[in-house]
Structure 1
Amino acid sequence: MSILLTGGAGFIGSHTCVELLQAGYDVIVVDNLSNSNPESLVRVQEITGKPLRFYKVDLLDSEGLSSLFAKHDIEAVIHFAGFKSVEDSVRKPLSYYHNNITGTLVLADIMHKFNVKKLVFSSSATVYGLPGYVPIQEDETLKATNPYGRTKQMIEIMLGDLTVADPAWSIVLLRYFNPTGAHPSGRIGEDPKGVPSNIMPYITQVAVGKLQTLSVFGSDYPTADGTGVRDYIHVVDIARGHLKALERALRTEGIAAYNLGTGMGYSVLELVHAFEKAAGCKVPYQLVDRRPGDVAVSYADPRKAERELDWKAEKDLEAMCADAWRWQSHNPGGYAS
């Protein structure tokens, strides 16, 4: 039986493919390649020495997705596919609601038709919005502050209703914080199309000369240096978290949410300086206005995942920066290199 990854050619998806293949799973990837590159999957197979199957299908294509389910014996789904830029979602909210929510509705409906009821959903810490306390626990009230976060929150609610209607479903919601780093091989990493919306590829592209200056959004937050504080977590740790979540989904029923984070917060400038040390170069930056929907401080309480999934982040900030730089310096133009 196979594990289907939607959006599996993307940053976190490709790294999760590595972990699944190395654990002995049969992997099928579906991706519309709107913000990813099929070269990532070629390299995944090089890293692991194992094959996977890839289909270029959009989740909004119900007929194409149904055909895929009819062709393969799928045991479970890990759902990454979706638009993911906070800033972009503020500018184009209808696009985000349509793509993220409707795509998940189509996927869940087809899973139901083919009696596939094991799902790991790629959610986000943005569902917490402005938290009442830090570190953030999973029982914090969900109150997303931007359209991207609201799509994740609405999907979580929808999936919760699904398990109430049919308790045979087993769904794991993974709320991860700020993914960064890259595979230690330097063969796969984050390769966004256009100007990056995440901080680390922005930093690495400035360091490699692809971009001129890093924009630091907000310098007047109530933090030690005025810049936003986030829980940065290595993408390999996140990928391993998906493997643990899949194992739980395969053996249980019902729905559960887990934070994937380190439990430590670093400011944007602390991240920049850590990267400069790891890369041995300066990263020019400019302080600009806050982005709509951003919060001052956000970091995880990851103890529930440690208790129930037997998962804990292992890689520190130095490893995140070193691996991110190895990826970008070896691939200055991303996968196009």
Structure 2
Amino acid sequence: MRHYMPTQLCIIFLFVLSCTSPKSPEREMLDSVSVQKLRTVYDPAIAYVQDNFFVLRDYSSNLDIFNQQALDTTIQLLQQVQTMQGLELHGGRVLKKVAALDNSHVAIMKYTPDSLIILDAKNSSISQKIPFKVASNERMIDFVPLSKHEVFYLTYSIKTRQESKLYKLNLKSLQSTFIYQLDLEDKVADLLKLALDENQDVLILNPFSAELLRVDQKKGTAVKEKYKTPSDFPYHVMKTRSYVSQVEFFNSANDTTQRTRVVDFVMSDGALLLIVNQGTERTFTSRHLLMCSLHDDAQPKIIPTNQIPLNFSHDKHIFFSSEKDSVDQLSIVPIRKILSGGYDRQQ
């Protein structure tokens, strides 16, 4: 009997292995929904979870949740109060960004007080409000989910705008861990953007100096790379301007200098993609999708599309808006379909 034991064990092992579910491939989402008045001067912030679009529009106090048909739910996150000076938001200054934590939770970043609002996508309800431990001389810039229980967030010094700090926050213990400090040559720390690459390394984009910083979250070390923008695109990022009076602010409307503002960025299959706004200091004229070069053998270019790019999803997808029959359409599309040109050909 003992002569057959190895064979029996091998058969049992192969049977168990055959019953083990293979790793599911990355899901490619291709979905759209009709919305009203999505395209504005301000940037809509969007996430896609449970086949629903979660949309913060015009930095408003509400989160709109769209299903495949239309607007399904609106959640009031800040209270709107009409005063003698106009409409004011109580409970926070602005809602800045929304992102998917996993397949069932959405996170929203709020300024002053800096905090993170966690939504349960299954029942469209707030499950947690997490305060960020930000120093009195710092402000939040951006955040990006690492997993269901961890996020990275970036702050900047409001006094100098030349220092930025990267932290990792554990959503269970609510403990923040300092990862890296970035000291800049220019006062542009408030322009920095945050993302993750395919290896879960942290990416910090400095649009002013056209630099990409790769931070090893475990070692706390960083590598800086310059990126090139398309030569036929007027890439002109400027420092944030402070106004000393209302007169100076109103006079700035006459400034016709064309400026570039980076709305969002992502690394996808080795390509650095930017979504940028073009316009003057006070006006918005157009939005573009750029592929930038990190190496001499790659050619930066403007990626043509018949829709307006809005922002990126963490899972190699991009959000677009377009107008059809006088109604705005919001779409989520795999980035690879855009780079190949296949998606626009289907429209």
Specify the TM-score bucket, using the shorter chain as the normaliser: under 0.3
Higher RCO, Cα 8 Å, sep 6+: 1
Between structures 1 and 2, the one with greater helix share: 1
- Name the larger-Rg structure: 2
Greater percentage in strand: 2
TM-score normalised by length of structure 1: 0.28
